[in-house]
Amino acid sequence: MCGIAGLIHQKPEEPIGRMLKSIEHRGFDDEGVFVSEKFGDGLKACLGHRRLSIIDTSSAGHQPFFSADGRFAMTYNGELYNYLEIKAGLAANGCEFRTESDTEVLINAFREWGTDCLPKLNGMFAFAVWDEREKTLTLVRDRSGIKPLYYAQVGEKIVFASEIKAILASKLVSPELDLEGLHQFLTFLWPVPPHTLFKGIYQLPPAHFLVWKDGRITTKEWWDLDFSRENHEMSEDFWRERVFETLDRSVGMEMIADVPLGAFLSGGVDSSSIVALMTRRAEKVATYTTGISSRDLEFDIIPDDVEWSRRVAEILPVDYHETLLTPDLTELLPKLVYHMDAPVIDMAIPSYLISEQSRATQKVMLSGMGGDEVFGGYPRQMAMKLAGVTDFIPSAVRRPLMRTLDSMLYGGVRGKLTAPLRNAKKFARSAAMDFESRYLGFGTYFTDERKTRLYADELRPSMKDFDAYRHHKRYFENCRAAAPLNRLLYVDFKTFMPALNLDTTDKTSMAANLEVRVPFLNHELVSLTEEIPAELKIKGIKRKYILKKAAESLLPKEIVWRKKAGFSAPVRSWVRTSLRPLIDELLSEETVRRRGLFDPREVRRIIGLNQSGREDFNLQVFQLLNFEIWMREFLD
């Protein structure tokens, strides 16, 4: 795992040094820079690299890497799990290799096939290739968006990097707030790719490549999920066996490393299945778990994972490590905002702390991330199924009925009713809508109505034409013929998963100089889930049904079928207790008014409704708090 950066500019030598310095946490093992000869109007292509050595840790893996004929230079972040297979094919065509690295395999695959090599790759990657003969720069991102890649065009020039802070360090782009990115961030907690919160800085979407030539940029999608492959002819037993075999093979592929390798363990079916399969290949797998104090759980909707991870550790041969989530938030939040290049979301905190803890003994960790996205594991997906039961009621009756129910329920009470009341309130707000709007409603934090009240008078006219859902609507249209559940999985795969889960996992783990691999997003397994019937992903009220049936051969049923916990922090507790002084300071009426983006009275109203327990606005308050921290870190 590494950090990459580069630019095309008349004088790239000074900017690339600052850029690589800003992302040195992504790789302390090595640094390299390539600068081309001048071309065109005195431009030079420059590629930079920070290395965290995983496969072929010798100096032979130094980057930027060059093709044998000198035509191509490449800087690459990621791992190819099928590189030996591709290497064999290239060798059969007469290609000779000087190293054992997957980097050399990748550059030779690109030399041989150009961008047609991309569908052959199974891995996680973001890379850049400079073609000295054609004077073109190609940027590529993996299918799922596991590895990040950002870029900005400045006139005829371009600058790119693994993290936004490196683009800012080039000083070719000034940090400015992107208003459409803000509108999306308030809606979902994150901007929708290709948008970021920075004006003029974009994220290359997953499964896309970008080509720069003669000062012009073109982008193209090179792969897409295809649920038209859904196959209803095979039995449930067939699919159960296929899921087991493919997950087993994916875990085996992703255990290839020349450095210590362990796993995150939550005690849920995803991470527990991965650990169980790892123990078939290794004598004692190092696992890491983080728990939450009983005091913090009083306010929150998340159960504690520790009880279940301990049970898994009792039945599997693992080297078990456990820690309690008790961070100094005043110190930690600014640090995480810096590493995320964005306001912090709840899962970033445990993700960073467990990465930091595991890095003490490991260099690579396997994670259960992605299981919910490809097998249908989120409560909102089940809520969509339940909400469909009310569709027989005419909308003229259903809408006022649900609004009344919403107004009657308290969403932020303390104790055992926290989760049921919060979810019932969210269900009531969305159940009366049409299919697409209903699902988008389940993932909305600030509705359009609330955002309109939140924006300052001076900002409101600039925001009225933005549609936060426009990308989601396009993705829904792309898969209109798919089964309803598969349509939800498709939209999440394109938006929620890369923009929130994968981006957070990458940034927080790399802040600790740790590589995280995600076997559930291995291309072989994702390809299989395109074929599995939707009714075997959620069967009745059982989420991830076919995965859990496959996992029964690995784990006790009480672990396989336990209630989903999720991987997040007790934000509801923190917002009402330890974070209150910081909230009062950074979201004071004076501070909000001076910032000029939000109406200070509306901010205070949101905080007040949350503190009283009338509404569960904890995540919204946390969102506004971290947005102010982000403004201070990057824009002030």
Q: What is the secondary structure of 557-598 as a DSSP string?
A: HHHHTSPP--S---HHHHHHTTTHHHHHHHT-HHHHHHH-SB
- Which residue type sits at 542? K
Let me know whether 25 and 73 are in one domain: yes
- Strand order of the β-sheet with 136-141 is 65-66, 72-80, 123-131, 136-141, 208-213, 216-221
Q: Which of 538, 560, 582 is the last residue of a domain?
A: 560
Q: What is the pTM of this model?
A: 0.93
| DSSP letter assigned to residue 25 | G
Q: Is 533 within the bounds of a domain?
A: yes
Q: Looking at the domain assignment, is residue 565 inside a domain? A: no
Cα separation, 321 vs 358, whole angstroms:
8
87 shares a domain with 198: yes
Asked if the structure places residue 406 within a domain, the reply is no
In a domain, 98, yes or no: yes
DSSP 525-562: HHHHHHHS-GGGTEETTEETHHHHHHHTTTS-HHHHTS
Average pLDDT rounded to a whole number, residues 194-206: 98
**Does 596 map to a domain?**
no
Three-state DSSP state, 81: coil
Mean model confidence pLDDT for the chain: 91
Which of 594, 617, 592 lies closest to 606, judged by CA?
A: 617
Number of domains in the chain: 2
Do residues 358 and 506 share a domain? yes
Question: Residues 401-457: pLDDT tens digits?
Answer: 556 655 555 555 555 555 555 566 666 666 667 889 989 998 999 999 999 999 999
The answer to the question of residue 435 being in a domain is: no
Q: What is the per-residue pLDDT for 200? A: 98
pLDDT band at 61 (very low <50, low <70, confident <90, very high): low
Supply the CATH number for residue 309's domain. 3.40.50.620
Question: Are residues 215 and 237 part of one domain?
Answer: no
Does one domain contain both 249 and 199? Answer: no
Q: What count of Cα atoms within 13 Å lies in the side-chain half-sphere of residue 549?
A: 17
Last residue of a domain, one of 168, 201, 221: 221
- Percent with pLDDT over 90 in the chain: 78
Preceding omega of 205 cis (within 30 degrees of 0):
no
Specify whether 192 is located in the same domain as 281. no
The CB-side HSE value for 462 (13 A sphere, CA atoms) comes to 14
pLDDT at res. 30: 82
Of 221, 240, 266, at which residue does a domain stop?
221
Query: What torsion do the CA atoms of 68, 69, 72, 75 make, to the nearest 10 degrees?
Result: 20
Token digits of residue 137: 């720069």
* 439 occurs within a structural domain: no
Residue 135 has pLDDT above 70, yes or no: yes
Confidence band of 148 (pLDDT split at 50, 70, 90): very high
Percent of the chain's residues with pLDDT above 70? 89
Q: How many angstroms separate the CA atoms of 276 and 283, rounded? A: 11
User: Is residue 175 located within the same domain as residue 236?
Assistant: no
Q: Is residue 402 part of a domain?
A: no
Whether residues 128 and 246 share a domain: the answer is no
Question: In terms of domains, do 151 and 42 share one?
Answer: yes
d(CA 343, CA 625): 8
Distances (CA, A) of 207 to 142, 420, 471, 504: 5, 38, 16, 18
Burial label, 447 (beta-carbon count in 10 A; 0-12, 13-18, 19+):
middle
pLDDT at 58: 55
When pLDDT is cut at 50, 70 and 90, the band that residue 393 belongs to is low
Q: Which residue(s) pair with 221 in the sheet?
A: 208
* Pair (233, 210) in one structural domain: no
Reported residue count of the chain is: 636
> How remote is the C-alpha of 493 from its chain's centroid?
10
| CATH number for the domain that contains residue 17 | 3.60.20.10
Which H or E run contains 219?
Answer: strand 216-221
Instruction: Identify whether residues 279 and 214 lie together within a single domain.
Output: no
Secondary element (H or E) of residue 31: strand 30-35
- 250 with 139, same domain: the answer is no
User: In terms of residue numbers, what domain contains 257?
Assistant: 227-375+490-560
